[in-house]
Amino acid sequence: MRIFLFIAALLAAPLCAPALSPLAPSEALALQPDEILKDPALEARAREISKELRCLVCQNQSIDDSDATLARDLRILVRDRLTAGDTDTEAVDFIVERYGDFVLLRPPFKNSTLILWIGPGVIFAIGIFGVTLWHRRRRVAVAAPVAPLSADERARVDAMLAEKPDQ
Amino acid sequence: MIAEIGHYAVVLAFMLSIAQGILPLIGAHRNDTALMGVAAPAACGQFMFVLIAFCALTYAYVVSDFSVALVAQTSHTLKPMLYKVSGVWGNHEGSMLLWILILALFGLMVARFGRNLPAGLRARVLGIQGLIGIGFLAFLLFTSNPFLRLDPAPFEGQGLNPLLQDPGLAFHPPFLYLGYVGFSMAFSFAVAALIEGRVDPAWARWVRPWTLVAWTALTIGIALGSWWAYYELGWGGWWFWDPVENASFLPWLVGTALLHSALVVERRDTLKSWTILLAIIAFGMSLLGTFLVRSGLLTSVHTFATDPERGVFILGLLIVVIGGSLVLYAIRAPMLKGGGLFAPVSREGALVLNNLLLATATAVVFLGTLYPLALDAIGGGKVSVGAPFFNATFVPLMVPLLIACPVGAMMAWKRGDLPGVVGRLKVAVGLALLVVLATVMIDGNTDIVAALAMGVAAWLVGGAAVDLAERTGLFRISLSDTLRRAANLPRSAWGTAIAHSALGIMVAGITASSSWQTERIQIVRPGDTVELAGYEVTFKGAGNVPGPNYTALRGTFELTANGRRVTMLYPEKRDYPAEKSSTTEAAIHTTPIADVYVVLGDSDGKGGWATRIYHNPLVPWIWAGAIFMAIGGMVSLSDRRLRVGAPKRAARKTPVAEAA
Amino acid sequence: MLRPLTLIPVAVFAVLAVVFAVYLWQVGPGGKDISKIPSAMINKPAPQFDLKPIANLPARLKIPGLKTADLKGGVSLVNVWASWCPPCRIEHPVLMNLAQQGVTIYGINYKDKPEDATRFLDQLGNPFKKVGVDNTGRTAIDWGVYGYPETFVVDASGHIRYRHVGQIYPHQLESLILPLLKQAAQPVTDSSKAGSAGAGGS
């Protein structure tokens, strides 16, 4: 539960909601030596999966980074599933079945996450479109004769550009 | 007594901000010099009073006056002096006061150095600053008064969150606020320009230095926060895409876009409407971050006693300030007429591309940060958006931006010559390819993506170097001529080159540390040695060590390379009895090319200790890059064309700059 | 003079402001707790498990172990608790009250020392018909538990109908738990309705 980042920490929040006790008595560092699998390939897969799963009792922290007991249990569970022969997807699905999409730090592409996933692309497309349109319009507009600055405006601009700074 | 003086000073500052927020705007509208003249003295007075209030609160912390409720809640007599002072802004109320102090400081600077601004513009800018001041001073007075008394006063304070008792985090908030509040200047100028209905190059020359100040400070602030996270949180990560981090990153992204688009307004008198919008959004993002962090909407599991009044108040402020200015923008922006034309392939075109990509990146971070909240608000269920999402969406957007950066920086205004620029950059291309090849050769696993990213880093540094070499005629003309040209080169050109190459340094650091980190997690007993990345780390033992307001469990490790001692490392676990919490202090051995990072974990009860040891290649480059970026900003700021006090000399352009 | 393009920013901001206002209102005093995560187990059959009773139970506390099959045949509450969890201690009188009203309550004792669990039940009373011991935390994970205590409403067919995270406050007895038990006694007719009940809770 050490993760509170900068300003969250600034606000000196108590560690957890009073009605909830997400911590078991002992507190430990994120990944523990005794959890690591002998098979490096399997362990590497477990690490990758762990980074994608949210520690439910922490704020925006993966189970790989978390000290919470539940995170440790989930890390061991992931390793057990992999050892038992699960594919990565099966191991993740096993946990999603119990905890829902909320455990996925990369939300699945669904109706409810449509705007999240396609929003940036749409914004980029609108941007490209807007810039093209603007550019084309500008070319047409400037092709037509441009009204020159009025004498008054001219004088003001000149004055502003020529004026020496006071200090 | 001192606390009452502080309270009274805040009230006076509030009164003055009302005068500053209303009279000059009326004066500017009626062209009434007397009313406009109220602005500057009011801004000076406001600063004086806020400063008095801030000093009063600091005094209460320094002498541990626990009759002030805030001090009792967040301080302790045993706390070292540095953290007594930094404790002033280590809480909601005090940090709000610091925020207001910085806002007043910016007002003072406009009043003091803005004498050569057109009188109307200056009055309007100060008036808008005054209006922002009204909002925040009212917020402080009515919902977050730091000077409330406690009766009876306790004998001892409850202490400050130990995570905040750290040099990195002590100075993180002032820089962050300097950045956030600094964008209020660009904002005030933007709104003043909308009221006046005109934006000209002189306007942009005024906005750029303020934006540079804010951007530089924010860069330092974010870097400090990330550095703190790196050494304090104990697993070698430095950026977590946490909503609170993102809240500070959003204004930075928009501010970066604003810096670049203001350049186009200044040099080419076009892109005005967009620049105004960016100025509004940059400050809007700063306010949004404040709202999210202080309303308690983001800190999901860490629910703390938030005062809903505060959230409502800041939301109201957000609606008035940002909503109001966006309405003004919708009405007035169509009046702003564009100036210079340019071909798509040109410096302007490149800067538009930069803005497009930065705007999209902002949208990604914005959506990712707020989507869970918005979905929950409309009853759509709970989702998590974490690092994997941002890495999958944000990073690909940065790739074209980074690749285009050196090309754009060398492109001519109006109409550029793409093949020509690429041809001139052939040295940088060669350097990049060399680095890719070298990386593939060194890294046996041939992580091709990482190798290419290292190439991009080299491309950025090389591109900036080529740009400087071209401008100074290096190797083409005599060295003395080159040096003379280098001395005459505008500081902003140096600043640009430094900041862009800093980006390259940072990319290299990010790539290397995330691709080639080595990690050893194990139980060690005294005498055990762990080998990693050419080092041997030997555990000597662990024992208790007292601290000023904590007790530490300290591990002793000897770091050797090829049998020769490099240094000793002392990671700690600290226990703070007053605050009833503990922190982990990693021991880090930093070299120019890597960190060795040791964390002490729990005892296994049988004489063994869980330890985590990391070798993080090039990780110091991340913060070195951030520092160079900030230095680039400061060098640019020292450019006479942009000097805060002398914006109008800008008509003078050096021939070298024009030739490039 | 208004152009649609320049209206986009203010429109986006308006949407945002409304979302924030709605959320602030929802989260406001007495509103929903944003830290609560909806259960993915609603309307699913209770997971398969077979847990041993608390070890070395004295004769005065005769509480058998718990397995999935026990949950069939009647509406019940399944409470995940531990003696080291302070909210569980505060919640306990509420469970005692429910048990006295004849509600069947099963317990899953999560990562606890048997002697501590025994002392806990000795001191505060035993509302549980059966208690299974989950030392590995695996069964808790199978239930999708993330905080303690958690309480599930299970219907007669052994399906999970509702999950409550955190302690049950005394005032929630009448307003929340008893109606839910009554509702769980009805056969599921409208699954979406049961689901929405499950998604709520505080």
Rounded to whole angstroms, the Cα distance separating B358 from B345 reads 19
Q: How far is CA B105 from CA B22, B146, B297, B533, in A?
A: 19, 20, 30, 49
Q: Which of C146, C140, C142 is nearest to C35 (CA)?
A: C146
List all residues of chain B from 542 to 601 with a beta carbon under 8 Å from chain A: 581, 583-584, 599, 601
Query: CA A165 from chain center: how many Å?
Result: 47
Whether the CB of B116 is below 8 Å from some CB of chain A: the reply is: yes
Rounded to whole angstroms, the Cα distance separating A3 from B229 reads 9
- State the smallest CA–CA distance between residue A30 and chain B in angstroms: 8
Residues of chain A contacting residue C88, judged by C-beta atoms under 8 Å apart? 21
**pLDDT tens-place string over residues C96-116:** 999 999 899 999 999 999 999
Q: What is the pLDDT confidence band of residue B304, given thresholds at 50, 70 and 90?
A: very low
DSSP letter assigned to residue C188: P
Amino acid C162: pLDDT: 92
Counting the structural domains of chain C, the total is: 1
Residues of chain A with pLDDT under 70: 1-29, 141-150, 162-167
**pLDDT tens-place string over residues B216-271:** 999 999 999 899 888 887 777 888 888 888 999 999 999 999 999 998 998 888 88
Q: A69: which 2 tokens?
A: 């007991």
Report, as an integer, the average pLDDT of B600-618. 88
Rounded to whole angstroms, the Cα distance separating B449 from B461 reads 19
Range of the structural domain that residue C166 is part of: 38-199
Strand partners, B518: B615
**pLDDT tens-place string over residues B623-649:** 999 999 999 999 998 886 655 444 443
Amino acid A28: pLDDT: 44
| B406, B429 contact by CB (below 8 A) | no
> What is the DSSP track for B408-433?
HHHSPSSS--HHHHHHHTHHHHHHHH
Query: CA C134 from chain center: how many Å?
Result: 16
- Helices and strands (H and E) in chain B: how many: 23, 10
- State the smallest CA–CA distance between residue A85 and chain B in angstroms: 25
Amino acid A147: pLDDT: 57
Query: Residues with Cβ < 8 Å from B573, sequence gap 6 or more?
Result: B552, B553, B582, B583, B584, B585, B600
**C23, B300: Cβ pair inside 8 Å?**
no
**pLDDT tens-place string over residues B145-174:** 999 988 888 888 888 777 778 887 888 889
- What's the whole-number average pLDDT of chain B? 88
Tokens 């905890």 — which residue? A99
Rounded to whole angstroms, the Cα distance separating C114 from B269 reads 78
Say if residue B24's pLDDT is above 80: yes
Query: Residues with Cβ < 8 Å from B250, sequence gap 6 or more?
Result: B285, B288, B289, B362, B365, B366, B369
Residues of chain B contacting residue A164, judged by C-beta atoms under 8 Å apart? 648-649
Q: Which of A126, A12, C175 is nearest to B89 (CA)?
A: A12
**A56, C84: Cβ pair inside 8 Å?**
no
Pure H helices in B171-240: 172-196, 201-232
Q: B244: which 2 tokens?
A: 């609170």
Q: Phi/psi zone of residue A32: left (φ > 0), alpha (ψ -120 to 50 degrees), beta? A: beta
Rounded to whole angstroms, the Cα distance separating B330 from B326 reads 6
**pLDDT tens-place string over residues B529-559:** 999 988 999 999 888 999 888 889 999 999 9
CATH 1.10.3720.10 fits A6-108, yes or no: no
The separation between the first and the last C-alpha atoms of chain A, rounded to the nearest angstrom, is 55
Rounded to whole angstroms, the Cα distance separating C154 from C132 reads 16
Q: Phi/psi zone of residue B73: left (φ > 0), alpha (ψ -120 to 50 degrees), beta? A: alpha
Tokens 């002590």 — which residue? B170
**pLDDT tens-place string over residues B45-74:** 999 999 999 999 999 999 999 999 889 988
Determine if the peptide bond prior to C87 is cis (ω within 30°). no
What's the burial of C60, exposed, middle or buried (CB within 10 Å: 0-12/13-18/19+)?
A: exposed
CA-nearest residue of chain B to A122? B360
Whether the CB of C63 is below 8 Å from some CB of chain A: the reply is: no
What's the burial of C173, exposed, middle or buried (CB within 10 Å: 0-12/13-18/19+)?
A: middle
- Angle among Cα B634, B637, B641 to the nearest 5 degrees reads 155
Residues of chain C with pLDDT under 50: 191-202
Rounded to whole angstroms, the Cα distance separating C38 from A47 reads 26
Q: What is the pLDDT confidence band of residue B616, given thresholds at 50, 70 and 90?
A: very high
Amino acid A17: pLDDT: 31
**pLDDT tens-place string over residues B566-591:** 999 999 988 888 777 788 888 999 99
Of A15, A104, A138, the CB nearest to B384: A104
- What's the residue count for chain B? 660
Q: Which of B285, B311, B309 is nearest to B298 (CA)?
A: B311
Amino acid A3: pLDDT: 37
**B377, C28: Cβ pair inside 8 Å?**
no
Residue C24 lies in a domain: no
Q: A100: which 2 tokens?
A: 């829902």
Helix (H) or strand (E) holding C109: strand C104-110
- What's the residue count for chain C? 202
**pLDDT tens-place string over residues A31-67:** 777 788 888 889 999 999 999 999 887 777 889 888 8
Q: B603: which 2 tokens?
A: 């005892």
Rounded to whole angstroms, the Cα distance separating B162 from B170 reads 11
Q: CA B69, B73, B74, B80: dihedral to nearest 10 degrees?
A: 90
Q: How far is CA B12 from CA A49, B50, B69, in A?
A: 57, 9, 22
Q: How far is CA B61 from CA A6, A8, B4, B74, in A?
A: 21, 21, 14, 9
Determine if the peptide bond prior to B620 is cis (ω within 30°). no
Amino acid C188: pLDDT: 62
Provide the residue type at B458 as one letter.
A
Report, as an integer, the average pLDDT of B493-509. 95
Q: List the domain boundaries for chain B.
A: 1-160, 167-424, 518-620
Q: Which of B632, B626, B634, B559 is nearest to B238 (CA)?
A: B626
SS (H, E, C) chain A: CCCCCHHHHHCCCCCCCCCCCCCCCCCCCCCCHHHCCCCHHHHHHHHHHHHHEECCCCCCCECCCCCCHHHHHHHHHHHHHHHCCCCHHHHHHHHHHHHCHHHECCCCCCHHHHHHHHHHHHHHHHHHHHHHHHHHHHHHHHHCCCCCCCHHHHHHHHHHHHCCCCC
Residues of chain B contacting residue A163, judged by C-beta atoms under 8 Å apart? 116, 648
Q: Is C163 helix (H, G, I), strand (E, B) or coil?
A: strand
Rounded to whole angstroms, the Cα distance separating B228 from B212 reads 24
For the four alpha carbons of B268, B271, B273 and B275, in that order, the dihedral sign comes to negative
Q: List the domain boundaries for chain A.
A: 6-108, 109-146
Q: Is B518 helix (H, G, I), strand (E, B) or coil?
A: strand
Amino acid B643: pLDDT: 55
Say if residue B178's pLDDT is above 50: yes
Of A54, A138, A162, the CB nearest to B341: A138
List all residues of chain C from 106 to 135 with a beta carbon under 8 Å from chain A: 111
DSSP letter assigned to residue B199: -
What's the burial of C78, exposed, middle or buried (CB within 10 Å: 0-12/13-18/19+)?
A: buried
| B177, B348 contact by CB (below 8 A) | no
CATH number for C66: 3.40.30.10
Amino acid C99: pLDDT: 92
> What is the DSSP track for C63-100?
---EEGGGGTTS-EEEEEE-TT-HHHHHHHHHHHHHHH
- State the smallest CA–CA distance between residue A49 and chain C in angstroms: 17
Query: Beta strands C150-154 and C76-81: pairing type?
Result: antiparallel
- State the smallest CA–CA distance between residue A149 and chain B in angstroms: 12
Say if residue B357's pLDDT is above 90: yes
Q: Which of A134, C6, A124 is nearest to B353 (CA)?
A: A124
Q: Which of A4, A7, A53 to mutate to test the interface with B (most CBs of B within 10 A)?
A: A7
Q: What is the pLDDT confidence band of residue B107, given thresholds at 50, 70 and 90?
A: very high
Report which of residues B210 and C3 the model is more confident about. B210
